[in-house]
Amino acid sequence: MARRPMILLVVLAVAAFVAACTSANEPQAGTTVAAGGRSVTMKLGDRPFRVHVPAGYAPRTPTTLVVALHGWGGTSESMARDLDLYRQSDTRDFLLALPDGTPDRNGLQFWNATDACCDADGIHVDDSTYLSRVIATVEQHYDVGPGRVFVIGLSNGGFMAHRLGCDHADQVAAVVSVYGAQNADRSACRPSRAVSALEVHGTADETVRYNGGSLLGPRYPSVRDTIGEWRTLDGCDAAPGHADKPLDADPSIAGSETTRSWWGPCDDGSEVGLWTVHGAGHGFPTTAAFTNSVLDWLDGQARTSG
């Protein structure tokens, strides 16, 4: 009988050791799963995030997941409102993940995407791994369709969207960057497979300039170099791309100011696109037609091979 307390202590010590060896960012059990048409906070170490479940969600039915990445100083909630993503999630039946960045010394949330944007305080938070685990956590609790994970990022979130396409091509099928940019160091992007990529950018952007520049010292590439890199990475044909009908993406500019160019199909059925918003600056307002067109494009980028 005297040995039982000792055995119990050994069991407890082993359990504590296993728990200590588990990363704080690993998907955690006990997260509440929301019913359709509701939002829920999902646990992920010290960085929980929100997920909106579409009204028509049905378990055991493969569903699209869209990850929304706000800009520097923004929030996932404000981005969802600006692009009307809650309603779109319910209408189009996609899961919507809404993670938030890390506050800098001024309380502005950021993503550590590239050396150019936007780890101003040098915190070196590993957002690439964190966001990969956000995707894995949603997949753990909901039926996400294979090859149907998409990322939309604004500004700093656009830089981060490109980064996820580079680092986690096994998880992410397509990325949309709105006034963001790739890494200027081409060796930093080595996707394991083709990823569809769309860059949307205003020609009058004075923050993330259309022709390239710098924000925190290191340079970021031009819009055309960003797209050129994805065309190379995705093995797109060298022939000129094709164009869609111009789009009215910015309600503050008269007419259909946005030209849309495409290259593809490229490797694994991927596609690369450039939407140039003529006359638009950074953080330009968007129309319903813009959000619908972006989501329509993403719907066509699902991988058939997972």
- pLDDT tens, position by position, 220-229: 999 999 999 9
Residue 274 domain-assigned? yes
Tokens, residue 117: 């944007």
> How high is the mean pLDDT of the chain?
90
Residue 206 domain-assigned? yes
* Mean pLDDT across 112-137: 97
Which residues on adjacent β-strands are paired with residue 153?
Answer: 69, 177
Residue 151 domain-assigned? yes
Residue 7 domain-assigned? no
Residue 301 · residue 262 · CB < 8 Å? no
Q: What is the pLDDT of residue 239?
A: 79
Report the number of distinct structural domains present in the chain.
1
CATH code for the domain in which residue 121 is found? 3.40.50.1820
Alpha-carbon distance of 165 to 193, in angstroms, equals: 9
Residue 117 domain-assigned? yes
Q: What is the pLDDT of residue 37?
A: 77
* Mean pLDDT across 277-298: 98
Residue 304 domain-assigned? no
Nearest CA to 101 among 69, 132, 123, 77?
A: 69
Residue 129 domain-assigned? yes
Q: What is the pLDDT of residue 30?
A: 40
* Mean pLDDT across 85-105: 97
Residue 124 domain-assigned? yes
Q: What is the pLDDT of residue 159?
A: 98
Range of the domain at 141: 23-299
- Total-model pTM: 0.89
* Distances, alpha carbon 271 to alpha carbons 55, 221, 242, 282, 304, in Å: 30, 20, 11, 25, 14
My answer on whether omega of the bond before 265 falls inside 30° of 0, hence cis, is yes
Alpha-carbon distance of 171 to 36, in angstroms, equals: 24
Q: What is the pLDDT of residue 35?
A: 62
Indicate the helix (H) or strand (E) that contains 159: helix 156-167
